[in-house]
Amino acid sequence: MMKELLMGNEAVALGALAAGVQVVCGYPGTPSTEALETVAKRNPGGVYVEWSVNEKAAAEVAAGASCSGARSMVTMKQMGLNVAADPVMCVNYLGVRGGMVIYVADDPGPISSQTEQDTRSFGRFAHIPVLDCGSPEQAFRLTQDAFVLSEEKGCPVILRSTTRVCHSCAAIDVPEIHAPGGASGFEKDPRWVIFPRLSYENKKKLIAREKLLEEEFSGYRENRISGSGPIGIACGGISGAYVRDAIAGIEGYEEKFTLLEIASPYPFPRGLAEKFLDATEQTIVFEELDPYIEDALTELCGREQRIGKVLGKRTGAVPVAGELSALTVQQCLERAFRIPGALKPGEFPDAPEMPVRPPVLCAGCPHRGAFYAVKRATAGRKSVYCGDIGCYTLGNAAPLDMVDTCLCMGAGITMAQGIRHVDPDTLCFAFVGDSTFFASGITGVVNAVYNRADMILAVLDNSTTAMTGHQPHPGIGLTMMGTRSRPVDIEQVLRGVGVTSVRTVDPLDLKSSEEAVRAAAEEEGVRAIIFRSPCIAVTKPKGCMEVREKDCVGCRTCIDEIGCPAVLMKNGTAFIDGSLCTGCGLCAQLCPADCITMEVSES
């Protein structure tokens, strides 16, 4: 046993390894990404790890491993659970042999997602047990419990975490990690074929299992009641830490409050909750994100005619969206119960006003060149630019203004088709990254070809999954097991599904990129332009651009046209910040005074 400082995602990974996980699959997505990466990094041997092409594929690989008797885990963020919903819903009806854990990281705020989404509610919808992590230490324990529970009940188990748990750190006693034993292998059985009659019978078993779990979870060690006061506080996940911080400084808080902490929100530990309600006069609920515990307690109160007993998001006593904090909890308690708290907002000396720093594409990002080439080539034409999920979503910012829509991964391709069908005199572009193309874009392209759509697909190929930390994907050929496979060629895929017009250009060459866009714009049907240039984070800078001050006319074209953060104005002339510039050369190509040149790096 050795004590290690681990972030929450690392704790989940090591908890899985300690539990003898044999197969781990996933798709990168903040805030979940580090879990799978840690399994790969700490692999003791004998554990198969992969970045799957998307979350649906990952869940299906994990289900196959579980059917073969192996313990498996699939990792994703809350948005990825939507992609994986089809197999996740079905595997619960089939059941599992080896323990199957579905690790989902929710993103209150949201900080790095399109939406707030509560996986606890999905678990109830799917009839899958949910364990909810409240700290890195608890995440380590719950991961191991989830595998045991999965095998005991013959069902997948959702392990839910949130951003603050995923990325906070704690000292955890980690046992020596050994390579897992071999799995028994797949055994043929009609149970693995999902027919309606089988699903009908298994649905009844699911409901019966839920009743048993309600009772078992009421005695689960991670569900706790503490304190003996008349005011009840119910919470789950990271909210428990906020509550403890908020009430710790209140004199006699143990006699004022009774605290219920729920680590297994579904099935809800009804017996424990009833005991809690019996011991309190009124209850307030703190949780992220849905009023999940609140609704469960309210239902219990309704059944037993405890009217007006529960306060929370539904009653306006607690904020309905975003993250909570210890200070927020204290403020809610003060408003609801007139109990002054001990927490004080931090007092710091007056700091200088922070500059406005909106998110922008990195200096030297090849996506900037692709967007700008399309913008120049389509100037004066009625055009719509459908975007997608990734770094290139930032193309919506001024001065580029080149992302008109962004819905979910892969949707830019199909949204462009819908817009064109309704607005036939519009030139429709769909921008998609290389990783997103493989994850969820190919289906949309097939749909476009089959239905004779009229659109231009712009694949922004920067040779990595950039936004989530530069993970590999099928177009690179490097796997998480360290092996090399033949890279999947995007142009061949496009031609294989029927796209006959495919051009590949370097987006840092504005002239050839504009020519490619203009040529595609004059064609009809589905045509594609692959803008191929590596992300600046995975390639060596070419050098640094510099401005000849004596020739600069101060026109600001280099700043106002492309918005590169490395290009500034200084003393009336353009200035290039050498600490940011990568030497991409875009600014030089559009400078009307021809006063920007390359300063080649000596290294």
Give the number of other CB atoms < 10 A from CB of residue 550: 7
Which one, of 479, 594, 583, 592, lies nearest residue 533 by Cα? 583
**Is 130 in a helix, a strand, or coil?**
strand
Give the number of other CB atoms < 10 A from CB of residue 167: 17
> In whole angstroms, what is the distance from residue 151 CA to residue 159 CA?
14
Q: Which residues contact 165 (CB under 8 A, 6 or more apart)?
A: 8, 133, 134, 135, 136, 139, 237, 238
Q: Which residues contact 182 (CB under 8 A, 6 or more apart)?
A: 46
Q: Which residues contact 354 (CB under 8 A, 6 or more apart)?
A: none
Cβ-based burial of 222 (10 A; exposed 0-12, middle 13-18, buried ≥19): middle
Is position 555 annotated in a ligand binding site?
Answer: yes
Is position 552 annotated in a ligand binding site?
Answer: yes
Which tokens is 157 given? 């188990």
Which tokens is 377 given? 């080539």
Is position 386 annotated in a ligand binding site?
Answer: no
Strands of the 427-433 sheet, one edge to the other: 383-386, 427-433, 455-461, 526-532, 501-505
Return the H-helix or E-strand segment holding 159. Answer: strand 157-162
The two beta strands, 567-570 and 573-576, are: antiparallel
Which one, of 40, 9, 45, lies nearest residue 25 by Cα? 40
Task: List alpha helices for 191-269, DSSP H.
Answer: 196-218, 239-248, 253-256
> In whole angstroms, what is the distance from residue 120 CA to residue 255 CA?
31
Is position 428 annotated in a ligand binding site?
Answer: no
Q: Which residues contact 553 (CB under 8 A, 6 or more apart)?
A: 592, 593, 595
The two beta strands, 224-227 and 257-262, are: antiparallel
Which one, of 345, 233, 327, lies nearest residue 283 by Cα? 233
Is position 587 annotated in a ligand binding site?
Answer: yes
The two beta strands, 72-77 and 100-106, are: parallel
Is position 581 annotated in a ligand binding site?
Answer: yes
Q: Residue 466 is which amino acid? A: A
Task: Read off the DSSP letter of residue 500.
Answer: -
> In whole angstroms, what is the distance from residue 273 CA to residue 304 CA?
12
Q: Do residues 37 and 75 make contact, with C-beta atoms less than 8 angstroms apart?
A: no
Alpha-carbon separation of residue 592 from 47, 349, 566, 577, 596 (angstroms):
58, 47, 18, 20, 10
* Annotated binding-site ranges for [4Fe-4S] cluster: 552, 555, 558, 564, 581, 584, 587, 591
Extract the annotated binding site.
Answer: 552, 555, 558, 564, 581, 584, 587, 591
